[in-house]
Every structure is written in C-alpha cells, then in structure tokens.
Structure 1
C-alpha cells in the first residue's frame, strides 16, 4: 500500500491530507512482520519529507499551512508512539548479542594461533599461488587484525595496497602505522588506523610480493583483492573458515569480535583508556553502551550489591535530620511557621478617572 496509490494530480500533494490512510499504512507495515527499527526508518523518512514540504512547499502544492502543521504533528505522534517498542526491540537484540560475546582467552588464543599459521600460509601461497591458498591467508590475517583492533569488516575490506605500502614507520616504537581513509565513520573519526610490528608488516609485504601471480593481482587496488576490481565482499566467510581451521569455538563475525572487545574494554579499563580504545576503533562510547556492551554478569551484579550494603554501614555522614519523638510534631512546627509569616497585601488597582472637559463657550448672539 502506498499513500499515493489510486490518486491523481499528485503534484498538488492533496493525497497526503488523509490521516486515516497514514495510520492504515503504519498498521500495514507492522502486519508485515517488519522489525520495529525498520518501521521507524520508513516513518522517519515520511516525517522528514513532511518537514521539508512544510518549510519549502513547491508552487504546485495545494495544502494549506494549517493542514501541513497537522500532518507534521500526526507524524511526530506516530514516531513518539514507536519509542517504547523500538527500545524493547533494541534491548532484546542486545541481550542476544550478550550470548555471542567471546571470552578474553578465546580472543587471545585466536591471535596466538593466527600468528603461528600465517607464515605457513604465506609459504603455501608462494609455492602454490591459487585462490584457495589466497582465501586461507585472507582468513588468518583478517582474524588476527580483528582480534587486535576490533575494526569493522568494512575497514579491512577497504584497505588499499597504496595505504599499506605508504605506512609510516616509527623508529622508536619499531612499528608501522597504516591509515585507512575509506570506512563507515571517516567523517567523524578520520582515517581508521592499524599499527603493526615489524614482523606483522613483513607478512603484508610478503603477500604483496606474490599478488601478481594471483587472478586480478596485477591491477589490484585493494589489499584483500579478488579477480574483479572490487573489494573482497566474502572476507567474513574466509574469516569464519580460518576460525574453524584454528579449532576455535563458535562461528563469530567481525561484529561479534567488535562487540566482545568493546565489552571487555568497559569492564577492564578506566574511562580515559576506554575512550582511547573506542576512538581507535572509530566508535562512540555511548553507542557502545547502547548497542554493543553487555550488561553486568551475576558476579559483577553481586559486587555492586555489596557496594550498596556498605553504603548503609558505619557512622552517619549525610546531613539527614533526626526523626522527631512526638508524632505530628513536624506538622505543628510547619503550621506555626506558616502562621507567623505576614501575609502580603496585594496593592489595589486604582481606577482611572476620565479627565473632565471644560464646557464649550457660549456663543454671543450678533447685535441687531
């Protein structure tokens, strides 16, 4: 169902002046078993169009200002009615994510095993440059980087060969810094960064030495390239194959790795260090608390309960007033205070008296 379905003269926008039809459209979206967030997305788009139409109406628009105001109020009311259901849906999704959070030991084991298998995968790729050995290296190297920095899969997909070759070297830290310009939140956080040790950077250079032997390698622009000029869209699949090859539990995604790192950072580091980690991941702490970071476990919740109980122990330090001995004594004191307060008298308004006009002068009759 569309709001303009079966209507004519659409340029006048008169078909929008049917609130019952709008309500029916919203009910139809919910009846199609769409997620609450998806329904809200559609409604937000219509609401924004109503705002645009009210602010900059075209010449062909035949809707009055009163009608446009009522339509905008209607859409705002619909959006407000969705807040509770959207919040419950987000809480449910967050609870499902909690079950996918990986242990610290699992992430550490992934880094350790990937570092052991990557040199062997490069040797295999050098001796047998086939797509199968290429995908194996992709999975191992992407798993290693994901468990280190918690970047989105799109960051790794968009990493360019030129960015890897132009990495900045720090002689004091003996590390290479790679700046990845193209990613989801580059307008807010700038380039996504990956810092590698000398050994890790050597793995990347060894792969680039072999890339010309692989399909699409001579004209490749992306580090994780394919036979086409596009980035590798199946990188998450190769990551999961490598995860299974390393005999690790579950089948996580890059998002699960990111969620796990954000959760462990909250309960391990202080606010300052956690803020640094979040910015390096190109992530907002508030967004992480709302969508990614898990709730307290039973052990952590019990620790918080002990803090509540300790707050009621010891001497009184808060400026609390002692309870009165006689019942109703406080009410008597308040009544006395009220009676002693002088009442302010309101000044009387003076009535304005109209100014008396002098009588008009008498006209003398002309002499006869």
Structure 2
C-alpha cells in the first residue's frame, strides 16, 4: 500500500486539478483490481513475485467482460495496467525480487491481450457511432429547443425568486440552462457544472458597453489541460438570466463558489438527467443526452463553419467579436436547415 501511495502521487503530479485527481483515483482502482487478481491465492506477497504470471494476465480480459465491462473499458484497464507496469519496472519496490524476465513476460502478455481485443474494440466503436447517429438531433429541433429555453428560463427564474427554497424548481432551472448551453454551443455538462461565481463576475467586469455580449471563461472542464478555458458567449439578455440567478443564489448563501450546486453545496452530478427532464417538458422529440446534443452541434460546426473555426473551436481563446460572429453563423445554419425541412 505504501508503494501504491507513491504511484498515486506520481499520477496526481504537481498542481493537479480536481478532474486530474479524479482520473488518478480511477486509474488506481483499475491497478488495484489487477494486483488483487494477480495475488489471489498466492503467498509471499511482499516479494511481488506474484506479478510474474503471464497466464493470469491473458485471462484477465475475459474475466472483465464476464463482470459486465464493455470491451472499450477493458482496453482502458489494460492501458492503465501497462502504465503501472512500466513504472514498476523502472522503480521497483525495495522488497521486490521479481526477475526481469518475469516482468518482460507480463508486459508482453498485456500487449498481446490489447492487440487481440483491438478488432472487437473497433467494431464496438462503430456500433456505438451507429447508435449515436440514430439519436441525432436535427438543426430545426435544436432551434426549437433554444426557443423553448428562452421562454422557460425567465419563467423559472421568476418562480425561483418567489420560491427560492424549492429544490425541484431549482433543478428544473439548472437542467433548462444546461440544455440551452449544450444546444447553443455543444459544451459538455462539465462546463455548466463547474462554472464559478468568480468567472461570472469576471465576465461582467470585463464587459464593454460597445460589445455585443458577455464572455464567460470556464477554467475547469474535461479538456482544459489541452485547450484552456471553455468560452461561453451570452447576449445581454442571456447574461441577465445568470445575473437574476446570482441574486437568488446570494440569498441561499451556499458554501461553494459554484454557480449551480446541489443540496450539499457540491457539483450537480445529475445535470444530464435534469436536462432530459427539461427536454421532455418542452415536448421535443426523442430523449437525447447532453452528449447527443453536443454531437449534433459539433457536426453542424464541422459542416457549416469555416475550417479554421471548426478545427479550433476549443483550441483558441476568441474575442467577443469572434464569438459573436460564430454565434451568428450557428444561428444562420439552424435557420437554413429549418427552411430546408419546411420546403
């Protein structure tokens, strides 16, 4: 356990984000499962010689599948275990007496197992892609969703102002706003979930009177390490919704800087479920997840935007003018698609 604690520190690294810590915890869980499997029924565990068992490694993918794991998840288990084995080989514990040839055989077995399931992984990914396409949300439906959100959000804010302790009503508002953001830009739920009051205040402080809207830079999200802040451009009316909620929020006195929070003051983990509920109340077709909506918006961006915009949608920090232009492009695209359907 002391050795694994050192490996966890290695995974977490310096200046880790909350998401980084969560990822490290997931990887440690998979490594723990691997070690428990390798050590089962064996003695002398302090020598780590139980690691040199290639046959158990080769049988591991089948056991994971029997546990109900998807083939793509099995691949992740093998990759994370391979990373641990590399760390173990380079910096073995002091009590280890595992021969070098034993570690080589286990490493070879892991690579062999990963190679053998690669075809199944690809076929599974194709099947998942086909299923996603069947749940595709069209541009006209996205446009209807945005129109409904513009109608619902002010009403929910008015009701929340009168009944600020109504948790059900509050979650309806959160789901509706998440749906609006996803349908508008294709942002993941984490962008809304991790938005902070400080970031909203920064957007307000940085607003110029001659600009067409407000830009919120959300620093904590899934791809922040690669692409930086996720940018959210809102018109004065839309930003006014957030300001109204912030007024209600201040009266609730939450012990968190998150804009949207659960009853315990933590992140709203069921945001996708709340968004689905909002979708159903708007009587829109199907029951898409926020990921389905993100896929639809990303496809629209790819098909209708300039290559530079589509390819670097997240990879660059855009100005207010650039974000406003992107917003107009998306709105025109939705309108053109709706006109095509009507014709």
After TM superposition, the score normalised by the length of structure 2 is: 0.75
What is the Cα deviation at residue 151 of structure 1? 0.8
Does 1:243 pair with 2:282?
A: no
Structure 1 segment 17-28 matched on structure 2, within 5 A: 17-28=52-63
C-alpha separation in 2, matches of 1:57 and 1:278: 40
Q: Please name the residue that 1:47 is paired with.
A: 82
Does 1:226 pair with 2:249?
A: no
After superposition, the Cα gap between the structure-2 partners of 1:235 and 1:54, relative to the gap in structure 1 and judged at 3 Å, is closer
After superposition, the Cα gap between the structure-2 partners of 1:185 and 1:3, relative to the gap in structure 1 and judged at 3 Å, is same
C-alpha separation in 2, matches of 1:88 and 1:33: 18
How far does the alpha carbon of each residue in 1:322-361 deviate from its partner, in whole angstroms, 9 at most, with x for none? xxxxxxxxxxxxxxxxxxxxxxxxxxxxxxxxxxxxxxxx
Q: Please name the residue that 2:189 is paired with.
A: 153
What is the Cα deviation at residue 278 of structure 1? 4.7
Higher percent of residues as helix:
2
Q: Please name the residue that 1:194 is paired with.
A: 232
How far does the alpha carbon of each residue in 1:124-146 deviate from its partner, in whole angstroms, 9 at most, with x for none? 22233332332232222222111
How far does the alpha carbon of each residue in 1:230-277 deviate from its partner, in whole angstroms, 9 at most, with x for none? 122222222122212211111211111111111222222342221133
C-alpha separation in 1, matches of 2:65 and 2:174: 41
Contact 1:178 1:194 in 2 (8 A): yes
RMSD: 2.3
After TM superposition, the score normalised by the length of structure 1 is: 0.70
Structure 1 segment 1-368 matched on structure 2, within 5 A: 2-129=37-164, 130-167=166-203, 168-213=206-251, 216-279=252-315
Equivalent residues, number: 280
After superposition, the Cα gap between the structure-2 partners of 1:2 and 1:275, relative to the gap in structure 1 and judged at 3 Å, is same
C-alpha separation in 2, matches of 1:145 and 1:49: 39
Q: Tell me, which stretches of 5 or more residues in structure 1 are unaligned?
A: 282-368
After superposition, the Cα gap between the structure-2 partners of 1:29 and 1:124, relative to the gap in structure 1 and judged at 3 Å, is closer
After superposition, the Cα gap between the structure-2 partners of 1:270 and 1:54, relative to the gap in structure 1 and judged at 3 Å, is same
Larger Rg: 1
